[in-house]
Amino acid sequence: MTAERVFDLSTHTVRELNQALHDVAGGTPSRFKVVNAMGDHALAVGIDAAVQVEIHGHVGYYCAGMNKHAVVTVHGNAATGLAENIMSGCVRVKGNASQSAAATGRGGLVVIEGDASARCGISMKGVDIVVHGSVGHMSAFMAQKGRLVVCGDAGAALGDSIYEAELYVRGKLADLGADCEEKEMTAEHRASLGILLREAAVDLDPGEFRRFGSARRLYHFNIDHADAY
């Protein structure tokens, strides 16, 4: 079993941490523990190996960005751009996340155990996002593929200009964005959502959620409907 490597950010630099993560041989299991994170930006970015990273403290912008294969857990809150462009693996935040969490994510799983601010899942392209709490306005804006699950409430303009992503909301909904509408919640959707909830360690009944998706009216520009864009 590979020994855990500890990086203390009161004595190590972010560059040293990220370089060590990049130097791990692809597919080799390894564990990293990061302590004294105090809002540092770009922690654990660009990982391309099956490593486990435990970050203790709050993190700044773009933590775990471009993640591939790794499991990154933040024991604190996260600033803007958490797990931006995630490709695979899992990023979990034990606290809250600021704006644009999992923006443009193409794969993997992002779990936010608190609330997420505005534009959560903006332009998502295949990532699964599970928010234990609520999300802010314009979440899943221009979402193209993947699933956003909100166990709490959703802010204004949810799913604005959405393509083919699936949105699930358990709590209250402020309103829907352009071309987003409520969809039928079938037994197949409940089963799929149940698997995702268990993976995200959420003990809730999938039947309590409503499903939303694209009305498909904005796929092609139509001058007669210009006021809808």
pLDDT digits (tens, 9 = 90+) for 61-79: 999 999 999 999 999 999 9
Question: Is 222 a residue whose pLDDT tops 90?
Answer: no
| SS3 of residue 138 by DSSP | coil
- How far is the first Cα of the chain from the last one, in angstroms, to the nearest whole number? 55
pLDDT, tens only, 165-209? 999 999 999 999 999 999 999 999 999 999 999 999 999 999 999
Residue 106 CA to residue 85 CA, distance in Å, equals 6
Model pLDDT, residue 226: 66
Q: What pTM does this model have?
A: 0.94
CATH number at residue 127: 2.160.20.60
Q: How many domains does the chain have?
A: 1
Domain that holds residue 58: 4-228
Q: What distances in angstroms separate CA 163 from CA 76, 155, 160, 219, one per listed residue?
A: 32, 19, 9, 8
Model pLDDT, residue 218: 78
Mean pLDDT of 103-129: 98
Mean pLDDT of 198-221: 92
Question: In which residue are the tokens 């309103």 written?
Answer: 175
